[in-house]
C-alpha cells in the first residue's frame, strides 16, 4: 500500500520549491519591537532623580520589556506555518526557550526593582511594601498569581527538571502559560504609567496582545479542527517493522491535500483510552498518498510503545504538517542522508522523493544490528529504482560500535564536501556526526538537522 509509490513521489515532488528562510527578517522585527517599547518608556519618563525613582524607572522598563517578550513567547507557541515550515520547529523551539528565559528574568527584575523602589520612596520595609502593592494596587492579586505560574513554568522548563518528567506532564504544565499571560496582562494597563494617559500606547498594547491571541486561536484551535473535520483520519493497520519499531498506517479523505512534504511531522493524538490526552510528534515515514499516510515509531516511552496495540478504526486527531527538514533546504545536487534508530523515518521519505540523478543520492543507516534495520526492504527497492546508494553500519558481534570519522566518511564518499547532508537520530549521535562532517569539510550551512526533543 505504501511502498515506493511513483504516484506518491510525483505528488511530493510537485511541492518541492527552494525557500529562503524568514529567520533574519523575523529576528530584526522582534528587535524593532523591543526598540519601540524602549521609545515608549522614554517618551513617558521624566527626569529621574534619586535612588528610589531610579529603581522604579528601572522596574518600569524591565516590566515593559518582560511583557513584550512574553507576547513573543506566546506567538512562538502558536505554530504559525511560516515559522514551523520555513524556519523549522526545532529553531522556533529554541527561540521560544530563549525568549522564555529572558521573559522570566525581566519579570523577576521588574518585581524586585519596583518593590525596592517603592519601599525606598515610602521608607518602609521591603516585605511590608510587597504586601501593600499586591493587596492595594488594582489587578495586582491577579498579577501575583500569574507571576507564580510563570515561575513554575520556568522551573519545569529547565533542563534538569524537564529530563525527569514525561512529555505529557511537561506539555500540560506548559499550557498554563496562557493563564499566566491573561492574569498578568491587566495590571499593565491599570498601573503602567505609559498607558495611564496614552491612548496610542494603550491601543498598541491591545493590538499586540490581540494579534498574538488571534494567532493562537487560529492556528492552535481552528486550523486543527478544520483539518480533522475535513480529512477524518483513522488507523488502518499497524505493522511491526523491527524489534520495538512499529508502523501505523492512517487512512482518511484526500490526505495528499494536507500539503505535507517528506521530512515533516505531525503531532498525533489517538482517540483511545490511555492515548487521547497526549499529542506527540512523529515524522511521516513515506510521502502522503491520496488516502493514506504512515508514521514509523520506535518504542522509547509509554506513548510510543502503546502504538503497537492500536486497533484498526481508531480515530486520529492530527496537527500539522510541521518542520523544515525538507528538500527545500538542499543547495547542491548531491545529497547524503544519515539516519540512526527512529531517525530513519523522515530519511526514508526523503530517500524516496528527493530529486537526484543516479549516483547523487546516498543513505547511510546506523543501527545496533541488521535485525534493527527498519524498512530495509523498502529502502533497497527505492535504491534500486532510483539508482541511489544504500549503506548501513551496525555494531560488531562483540557489541562494539563502528567509528564514524571524517576519514571513514570520505572513504565512502570522496566528494563528501560537495554534498548537502541531512541528519536524523538520537541527539548525542547527531551532535557527533555534525562535528565529524565539519571536520570532513562540509560547511555548516549544508548540514541540515531538526530535533524533536521537548
Structure confidence by residue, pLDDT tens digits, 359-375:
999 999 998 888 889 89
The pLDDT, as a whole number, for residue 198 is 67
Question: Which residue's entry shows cell 527538571?
Answer: 161
Q: Per-residue pLDDT tens for 384-432? A: 999 999 999 899 888 788 888 899 899 889 999 999 999 998 888 888 9
How far apart are the two ends of the chain, measured CA to CA in Å? 32
The pLDDT, as a whole number, for residue 43 is 82
If pLDDT is split at 50, 70 and 90, which confidence band does 301 have?
confident
Percent of the chain's residues with pLDDT above 70: 94
- Distance (Å, whole) CA 246 – CA 151: 39
The pLDDT, as a whole number, for residue 14 is 44
Q: 313: alpha, beta or left, given left = phi > 0 and alpha = psi -120 to 50?
A: left
Asked whether the predicted pLDDT for residue 9 surpasses 60, the reply is no
C-alpha cell at 145: 498569581
Asked whether the predicted pLDDT for residue 309 surpasses 50, the reply is yes
> How many C-beta neighbours within 10 Å does residue 290 have?
13
Question: Which residue's entry shows cell 498574538?
Answer: 212
Average pLDDT over residues 254-279: 89
Average pLDDT over residues 305-322: 93
- Distance (Å, whole) CA 100 – CA 89: 16
The pLDDT, as a whole number, for residue 317 is 96
The order of strands in the sheet holding 447-449 is: 389-393, 361-366, 334-340, 419-424, 447-449
> In degrees, to the nearest 5, what angle opens at C-alpha 428 toward C-alphas 424 and 430?
30
> If DSSP codes are grouped into helix, strand and coil, which group holds residue 425?
coil
Q: Per-residue pLDDT tens for 74-103? A: 999 898 887 877 777 778 888 888 999 999
The pLDDT, as a whole number, for residue 12 is 43
Choose the weakest-confidence range: 16-20, 24-28, 435-439: 16-20
Tell me if 11 sits within 8 A of 256, measured CB to CB. Answer: yes
Percent of the chain's residues with pLDDT above 90: 54
The closest of 199, 187, 224 to 78, measured between CA atoms, is: 224
The pLDDT, as a whole number, for residue 256 is 83
The pLDDT, as a whole number, for residue 452 is 58
- Distance (Å, whole) CA 166 – CA 66: 29
For the chain, the maximum distance between any two Cα atoms, rounded to a whole number of angstroms, is: 82
Choose the weakest-confidence range: 23-27, 28-32, 70-74, 151-155: 23-27
> If DSSP codes are grouped into helix, strand and coil, which group holds residue 29?
helix
Average pLDDT over residues 234-252: 92
Q: Which pTM value belongs to this model?
A: 0.81
The pLDDT, as a whole number, for residue 18 is 43
Residue 12: C-alpha distances to residues 53, 168, 243, 246, 289 (Å): 62, 32, 29, 23, 9
Query: What domains are defined for the chain?
Result: 23-226 (1.20.120), 232-322 (2.40.30.10), 327-449 (3.40.50.80)
The pLDDT, as a whole number, for residue 3 is 54
Amino acid at each position: 500500500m505504501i511502498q515506493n509509490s511513483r504516484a506518491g513521489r510525483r505528488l511530493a515532488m510537485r511541492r518541492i520549491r527552494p525557500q529562503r528562510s524568514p529567520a533574519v527578517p523575523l529576528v530584526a522585527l522582534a528587535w524593532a519591537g523591543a526598540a519601540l517599547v524602549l521609545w515608549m518608556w522614554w517618551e513617558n519618563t521624566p527626569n529621574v532623580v534619586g535612588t528610589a525613582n531610579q529603581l522604579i524607572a528601572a522596574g518600569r522598563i524591565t516590566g515593559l520589556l518582560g511583557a513584550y517578550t512574553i507576547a513573543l513567547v506566546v506567538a512562538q507557541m502558536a505554530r504559525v506555518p511560516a515559522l514551523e515550515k520555513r524556519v523549522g520547529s526545532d529553531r522556533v523551539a529554541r527561540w521560544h526557550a530563549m525568549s522564555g528565559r529572558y521573559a522570566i528574568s525581566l519579570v523577576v527584575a521588574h518585581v524586585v526593582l519596583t518593590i525596592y523602589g517603592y519601599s525606598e520612596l515610602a521608607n518602609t520595609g521591603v516585605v511590608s511594601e510587597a504586601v501593600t502593592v499586591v493587596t492595594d494596587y488594582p489587578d495586582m492579586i491577579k498579577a501575583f498569581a500569574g507571576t507564580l505560574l510563570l515561575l513554575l513554568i520556568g522551573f519545569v522548563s529547565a533542563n534538569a527538571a524537564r529530563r525527569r518528567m514525561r512529555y505529557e506532564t511537561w506539555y500540560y504544565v506548559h499550557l498554563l502559560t496562557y493563564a499566566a499571560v491573561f492574569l498578568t496582562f491587566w495590571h499593565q494597563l491599570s498601573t503602567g504609567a505609559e498607558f495611564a494617559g496614552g491612548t496610542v500606547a494603550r491601543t498598541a498594547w491591545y493590538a499586540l496582545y490581540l494579534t498574538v491571541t488571534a494567532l493562537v486561536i487560529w492556528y492552535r484551535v481552528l486550523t486543527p479542527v478544520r483539518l480533522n473535520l475535513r480529512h477524518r483520519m483513522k488507523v488502518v493497520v499497524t505493522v511491526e517493522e523491527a524489534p520495538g519499531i512499529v508502523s501505523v498506517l492512517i487512512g482518511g479523505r484526500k490526505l495528499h491535500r494536507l500539503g505535507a512534504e517528506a521530512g515533516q511531522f505531525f503531532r498525533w493524538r489517538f482517540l483511545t483510552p490511555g492515548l487521547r490526552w497526549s499529542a506527540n510528534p512523529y515524522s511521516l515515514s513515506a510521502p502522503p498518498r491520496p488516502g493514506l499516510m504512515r508514521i514509523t515509531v520506535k518504542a522509547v516511552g509509554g506513548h510510543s510503545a502503546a502504538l503497537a496495540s492500536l486497533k484498526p478504526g481508531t480515530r486520529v486527531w492530527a496537527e500539522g504538517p510541521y518542520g523544515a527538514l525538507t528538500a527545500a533546504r538542499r543547495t547542491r545536487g548531491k545529497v547524503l542522508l544519515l539516519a540512526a534508530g527512529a531517525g530513519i523515518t523522515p530519511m526514508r521519505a526523503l530517500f524516496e522523493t528527493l530529486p537526484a540523478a543516479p549516483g547523487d543520492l546516498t543513505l547511510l543507516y546506523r543501527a545496533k544490528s541488521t535485525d534493527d534495520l527498519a524498512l530495509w526492504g523498502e529502502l533497497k527497492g527505492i535504491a534500486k529504482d532510483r539508482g541511489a546508494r544504500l549503506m548501513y553500519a551496525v555494531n560488531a558481534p562483540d557489541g562494539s560500535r563502528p567509528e564514524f570519522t571524517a576519514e571513514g566518511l570520505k572513504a565512502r564518499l570522496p566528494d563528501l564536501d560537495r554534498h548537502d547532508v541531512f541528519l536524523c537520530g538520537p541527539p548525542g549521535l547527531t551532535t557527533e556526526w555534525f562535528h565529524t562532517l565539519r571536520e570532513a569539510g562540509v560547511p555548516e550551512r549544508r548540514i541540515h538537522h531538526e530535533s524533536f526533543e521537548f
